[in-house]
Structure 1
Amino acid sequence: MRCVRADCPGSYGPEGYCDECGRKKPDKPLASVPSAASPASVPSVATVSAGSTRASSGRTRGSSRGGLGAGLIDIARVPLRDPATAVMQDPKVAEGRRYCAKCNEAVGRGKDGKPGRVEGFCPSCGTPFSFVPRLHPGDIVNDRYEMLGALAYGGLGWIYLARDRNVGDAVTERWVVLKGLINTGDADAMASAVTERRFLVEMDHPNIVKIFDFVQHPDPKTGELIGYIVMEYVGGHSLRDILVARRAEGARVLPLAEVIAYGVEILPALGYLHDRGLIFCDFKPDNVIHAEEQLKLIDLGGVRRADDDVSAVYGTPGYQAPEVAELGPSVASDIYTVGRSLAVLSFEFRGFSTTYAHELPKDVPLLAQEESYHRLLRRATHKDRDRRFQSAAELSEQLLGVLREVVSATDGIARPTLSRQFTPERRAFGTGAGEVGEETVAELRPSDVAAGLPLPQVDVLDPGAGFLATLSVADPAEAVKQLEAAPMSSVEIVLRLVRARIESGDLAGAKAGLDELAATDPFDWRIDWYRGIAALAGDNAAEARVSFDAVYDELPGEPAARLALAAAVECTGDVDAAAKLYERVWRVDRGYISAAFGLARIRLAAGDRAGALSVLDQVPDSSSLHIAAQVAGVRASLRAEAHALKHDDLVSASGRLERITLDVERRARLAVEMLEAALGWINGSRLPGHRLPPGAKVLGHELSERGLRLGLEQAYRAMAQLAQDPDTRIALVDRANAVRPRTLT
């Protein structure tokens, strides 16, 4: 059947999804679901789900909210609905969804204008089929569950809503969902049901639908006992339904922050299954329900043990990992399905089950704008499963980091957090503009970056972690000796030895140690990190850029990875790319002062003095480099091309310097810089005809040649009094004498 979307040339496949735009074939028009910013409640929609055991009472909650949104964004709650309104009034399976359970050939299709049969035999293999509900309103199953009606038809058959007569009273009732099989002749479906009974009754996680029971009931026609799984009922909406409803409103995709928050919320449920040796297999937006302020993972029919090589594997084209057919499902294949689901929800993913069944499309504006998110999706959906995230917790950690970046970039509010992967930066680099002394270096030096970047956290489970905790020598050469004589060998000891060799200048030895580790574990991102630091120490910024780019691919949610890449990129001369990275780091975490100086340095070089000052003023008062940032701000205020400096800039810089707490010598040095700049402006750079306002002063001195020369004289004499070297003192006095007004001819 052709897609119902007017501008889509695709057709619906066996699973009911369009092979071009990826949208699900609607059984009937879907009511609107409010966006995250909308306060409207959700109209009643017939949605299959599992979740809360109570129906909506019509009450509304106050401002309290669940964990959805990770405390970073607010997502509109989806109210529960009356279960009685969820059942299908006329339960039917669309002809386009009717397939033989054994050979997967089309069955029950109409001909010559006549509707297809809902029961019969497959013309290809002779297997009987039936798309008629086995249970009807009023039926009692297992002397306990009273049928209310059919909710929907799923991949493994009809799903029913029932009332548990053993639980409840005149005030409250417990509604449950019964899930049957496609037909009694489907061995794979029966095995899947047995799998659910065996593994999932004991599962207990707040984000996973609860399996209460496994019961049997005779088929009304054959008398054969049919198995049913009894699950809790959730009266919410699937993420797929929410997406379709938003599209109907004109919002073609869900907001990125909302999509990421959904991923962060549901990943612990997958991790819960993985920790118990179970693979979900068929994760997709249809199988995640948003009910009130919580997500629920539903449709557990495809769950199987990780070591199960016999049971049928269930999956959905466009979501299933490419290696599943050959290698079987795994934790990595579940990670793949999560990545694909995030992609489908966050941008228009046409052809996701055909043209781009196993890759991401190119030229997607969102992915070009959100580089960290793009890298996360690339790793999660990598064709090589060894290159993907290796656990739900690992993906969740990086996804949360990307969420912090996305939200901070939107509202400008920093959202720092302690990293489990990196230490803070050891020292800020590239801060020369904020230093006052005899020799200050304003440009960024690769060696300074190597010495200042954060370091990977030590794995406390490593056998050598205890030994490293006792290592306290500061001298790199001595550290090399002690590490080479370590009583055991471990990855952490080798990495620490690599670091000591870099610091002692033995780059060849450091490289040999990293090559040794790479031969054992080529996927350890710490190898690339130290390769990048070694390259910077050797003044090879291009090589460092390659190494840190690889780390960013592995850890897209870590600001430290972006900071390292930004510095390496700047050292190669690609300042535009560096500025973008610096800005993203600084927006999310004001603890990375190097990012602030880097961004200000690049903006100032590009002539954006206001932008540079804005960043420097954001360095918090609590930072040890707050004064350095203000000093850099003073210098930035004085920097301008010919005729670009104005008296307002001089007055502003003067006020900034007067507010800074500096010792006498540094204040005098900075005063000399400012007064010389002002004097140069008065004598040569000032626009012809420019009038100074009456009473304008710089550091308390009149903004005139005489006033500025008097100020310079005082500053030089103050420096001379503090000079320890006689020759330096004499030189400063000579300068004072040369600049004083009465030496003018």
Structure 2
Amino acid sequence: MAKITLRVVRKPNLMKKKHTSISVKEITKASFETALPKKPSADNVTLDGGRINSSSWVKLLLLGTGAYGSVYLGTSKSKTHHTGDRAIKTAEISHASSLMDEGRIMIRLQSPFIVRCYGDEIAREGYSTQYNLILEYCSGKTIADLIEDNHGELLESEAKVFARDVLSGLTYIHDRNIVHCDIKPDNLLLSPTAVRFRSTGYLTKIGDFGLAMEKGSVEYGNGYGHKRGTTRYMSPELIGHGFVDFGADVWAFGCTVLEMLSGATVWGEYGDLAFDDWVNLIGHSDRMPHVPAWLSKEALDFLSRCLERDVNKRWSTLELKNHPFVLL
């Protein structure tokens, strides 16, 4: 599966290691057909007149790379309608099925807490044909960068603001039956804004929907058989039994808030494990991520609601939005 993860190119992180997203998803032409509009597949591209035009965008700077594609800072070629910089997520057309699925989800999401998708294109670039997804460019990097730049934990007051933003974004997509499946600090992008609107100076936006699933789609089925995400952020029911539901996002969100508050990588005391070891640790043991005792009572209680092993007892995003930890 073509999984492209937005990565901001920066100096090596000495505090934590990169975490790779995985998926056992099989791309089929039936994916999302019950809920989303039809789009051309990577294997059957047809355009008006049979012509494939050159891209409408100039790629200025490589922002990150993935296994099957790249993300560039881009600007429009149009001299009459300057739209500002965009992030161009691109893959060679024969490897673009996953990116197309991502575009089909993102293009209908309109929330200030979700990275905006402005459309897509199939374009001839050099000797290859590329599928380009045109996204909002968030110049403030990511939550992962912010943790690194602060050499560890963020102030609790800052973490609360970021957490509220992410909860708003998650509530929005869950209301639309979408499970993100890969919430983590690297996929939470920061968009600079006036301090009078956000004390941190940033608005947090959820990005990278490459592993997202829509409940009710053919691909989703009954929710089982989908081990996908970044291992150390996967919930017990997801990594242990392959069950995808909204609770998986809540668990991953709890791991992310824990990293913001503690400055330490979740499950970091176990180092880098093989996949089967992650399954045993998270999915089939009674162990929990280490939560520092010095956190405030509100923070400790909030994390306990997110990091609940029993998915039926784990709080929803709506419940979490009313928790004292994130209330203004």
| Aligned AA (2:219) | V
**Matched pairs, number:** 265
The structural deviation recorded for 1:337 is 0.8
Instruction: Decide whether the 8 Å contact of 1:145 with 1:162 is kept in 2.
Output: yes
The structural deviation recorded for 1:348 is 4.0
Q: 2:318 aligns to what?
A: 393
Which SS does the other structure have where 1:265 is aligned?
Answer: helix
The question of 1:307 aligning with 2:216 is answered yes
Instruction: Decide whether the 8 Å contact of 1:317 with 1:353 is kept in 2.
Output: no
CA distance in 1, matches of 2:79, 2:236: 45
| Aligned AA (1:298) | G
CA distance in 2, matches of 1:98, 1:340: 16
CA distance in 2, matches of 1:201, 1:276: 13
**Quick one: structure 1 residues 363 and 220, their matched pair in 2 at CA, closer, same or farther if it must change by over 3 Å?**
closer
Q: 1:317 aligns to what?
A: 231
Which SS does the other structure have where 1:260 is aligned?
Answer: helix
Q: 1:206 aligns with which of 89, 92, 112?
A: 112
TM-score, scaled to structure 1? 0.32
| Structure 1 portions without partners, runs of 5+ | 1-14, 17-23, 31-95, 103-139, 405-414, 416-745
The structural deviation recorded for 1:338 is 0.6
| Structure 2 portions without partners, runs of 5+ | 25-51, 194-202, 221-225, 271-277
**Quick one: structure 1 residues 384 and 352, their matched pair in 2 at CA, closer, same or farther if it must change by over 3 Å?**
same
| Aligned AA (1:180) | T
Aligned pairs for 1:226-625 within 5 A: 226-247=130-151, 252-293=152-193, 294-308=203-217, 310=219, 314-325=228-239, 326-349=241-264, 352=267, 355=270, 358=282, 359-362=287-290, 364-367=292-295, 370-390=296-316, 392-398=317-323, 401-403=324-326
CA distance in 2, matches of 1:395, 1:362: 20
The structural deviation recorded for 1:173 is 4.6
**Quick one: structure 1 residues 402 and 152, their matched pair in 2 at CA, closer, same or farther if it must change by over 3 Å?**
same
Aligned pairs for 1:39-58 within 5 A: none
The structural deviation recorded for 1:313 is 5.8
CA distance in 2, matches of 1:25, 1:149: 11
Larger helix proportion, structure 1 or 2?
1
| Aligned AA (1:241) | D
**Quick one: structure 1 residues 386 and 142, their matched pair in 2 at CA, closer, same or farther if it must change by over 3 Å?**
farther
Q: 1:191 aligns to what?
A: 97
Which SS does the other structure have where 1:267 is aligned?
Answer: helix
**Quick one: structure 1 residues 262 and 101, their matched pair in 2 at CA, closer, same or farther if it must change by over 3 Å?**
closer
| Aligned AA (1:193) | L
The structural deviation recorded for 1:363 is 7.0
Instruction: Decide whether the 8 Å contact of 2:211 with 2:229 is kept in 1.
Output: yes
TM-score, scaled to structure 2? 0.69
Instruction: Decide whether the 8 Å contact of 1:319 with 1:353 is kept in 2.
Output: no
Larger Rg: 1
Q: 2:60 aligns to what?
A: 148
CA distance in 2, matches of 1:383, 1:269: 23
| Aligned AA (1:226) | Q
**Quick one: structure 1 residues 292 and 27, their matched pair in 2 at CA, closer, same or farther if it must change by over 3 Å?**
closer
CA distance in 1, matches of 2:85, 2:170: 25
CA distance in 1, matches of 2:163, 2:59: 34
CA distance in 2, matches of 1:384, 1:99: 23
CA distance in 1, matches of 2:23, 2:309: 30
